[in-house]
Structure 1
Amino acid sequence: MLKHPFVFIFNVLESQHAVFRTSLFSHIKWIFDQDNQKCIFLPIRNSAHSTLEHRAEIIDKKLRSIGSAHIVALSVSGVDCRIALSAFSTPMESLFTISSPHNGSTLATWAYSPERDLSLLDPICRFLGLPFDAFVELRTDRMQKINKKLSQVTTPICSTSSWKHPKPSLDLLTETAEFLQGNDDVIVKWNDGIFYVDEMKWGNHLLSFDGDHTEILGSNLKINCAPLYRLALDNAQRFELHQEGKVAN
C-alpha cells in the first residue's frame, strides 16, 4: 500500500460528466481494487471555455485539497498536469502519463486549418473530453512554444504511448488514422488513431504498447490494459522506496 494517495486524472466534457463518473472507468477501478490499492478518480469537467491553463489551475486546486499524490494522467490530462507542475508547483509525488500528446498533435494542427472536417472532429473532441477550441491548443507549433516556456521540475515524469491495433475499437479512429498516415502498413505502427507515438514521448518514456486510443481505457476486452496500470503502481512504490533510501536510482 502506498503512503501517498494514488490519483487517476482524466478530462470530460461537462455534458458527459455523469456518464464518465458512473460507468466508464469501473473496470480500471477494479484493477486497483484487485491490488488492494485505493485510487481517487478525478475527472476534470470542461466547459466550452476550457483552456490548458484553466485545466492546470483546476488540477492544482483539487490536488492541493488532496495533498501530495502519485498521479496517473490519461491522454491530454498528462499535458495539463505537466503545466500545473511548472506553473503552480502543484504537489505531485510522481506523474505517470498514458498516451498524452506532450509534443503537440498533428491532428490538432489539421483541426486548426481551413481544410478541417468538423464532422470528423466532433466525436474526437467528445472522446477526449475537450471542446474544439481546447483541442486545437494542442497543435504542434503551440505546444512547442509551451514546452520551451515550461520550467524544469524535479517531480519524476514517466510517459507511455500506444500505437494502433489493426482492428480499432471505434470507427472514428480508423478515419483519423487514415488521415494521419494514409498507409495501412504504417498506421498500425506509428499512431493510435489520434496521436503519433513520438507525440506522446516525454521524460522517462517507459514503453509503447499495442492498442488504440480507446483501448487504453480497457474498452476492448481482447487488450489487457491491467499491466499498464500495475506498472504505474509499481513506479509509485519504487519512488516511495527511493525517497526512503531503500532502492538505488
Structure 2
Amino acid sequence: MSHSHNLLARKRQGILSCLLLLSTALLGPTARADQPSLPALTLSAEPAPQTLIDDGDTAPSKKPLYLQAQFAAASESDFGPAILFYYEQPDQKTNLSSLSVGRFLRDDLFGWPAEVVSYASIQYFGERGFQPDAIGTAFYIKAYKHFKLGKSQFPLRIGLGEGLSYVSRIPIVEVEDFAPDTSAKLTNYLEWTMQTSLNHLLGHGGQRFSPGIKDVYLGYSVFHRSTVFGLFASKGGGVNFMGLSVELVLD
C-alpha cells in the first residue's frame, strides 16, 4: 500500500514539474519587483490612437454638397449610342428639367480612386400636350473620374450614376417605346455626364470659383430610365433624355 502511495505521489510531482516548466517557457521568467510589469502592453497600445488622429487630420472637415441642374430632350437612341452623342429624334418632342442634390460619400469605389456621391433628384417632364405633364424622383449613387487632356491639361470629368427612378405618369416617349406593352412607374435609373471645369474655361484653373463654391462643372448629360430586360415590367426597354447639365460643388 505504501509503495502505491509513493508511486502516485511521484507521478503527481512529475506532472506538477512538467506544468511548471511549461508555464515558465510560455510566460517567461518571473519579473523582479524593480521592473515595470507591462512594458510591452503600454507600447503596443500607443500607435492605434496616433493612427486615428492622423486620419482625422488628413480627412476633410466636412463633406462637399453638390447641386446639379439638367435640361434635356427626349430621344429614341439607346443608352450606348446616346453617351456617344448619337441623337435619334422621336415623334414626341418632349423635354425634361431636373434638379439634383448630392453629398460626397468617399474617394474610392471598390478600391479604385473615384469621387463617389449620393444624390436625390426631382424631375419635371414637359409632355407638350401629348398627355398631362409628369413629376419624377430619382435616388442614385454616382462615381466621377477626373482626367487631364493634352498639353493644356484640359479637365474632363466623367460620371456614371446608378439608382432608381419613379414617375407620377410614364413619359409619352416611354409609352410609345413600349407599345403595345406598358412600362412601369418605378424603373432602374442611369445617369451619364461628361463635364469640364468652368474655372478652367475662365482661366482660373486651380483656384476656387468663389469663397463658398469650390468649382462649377458644365457639359453633356444623359438621363436614362430602363426596365432592365423586363425586371421592372413585362418587357425590356428604356428611354433617354439627352441634354446639358450644370453642377456646383459647395464646401
Q: TM-score range by the shorter chain?
A: under 0.3
Which structure: greater strand fraction? 2
User: Structure 1-normalised TM-score?
Assistant: 0.22
Which structure: greater helix fraction? 1
Larger radius of gyration: 2
Larger RCO (alpha carbons 8 Å, 6+ apart) = 1
User: Structure 2-normalised TM-score?
Assistant: 0.21
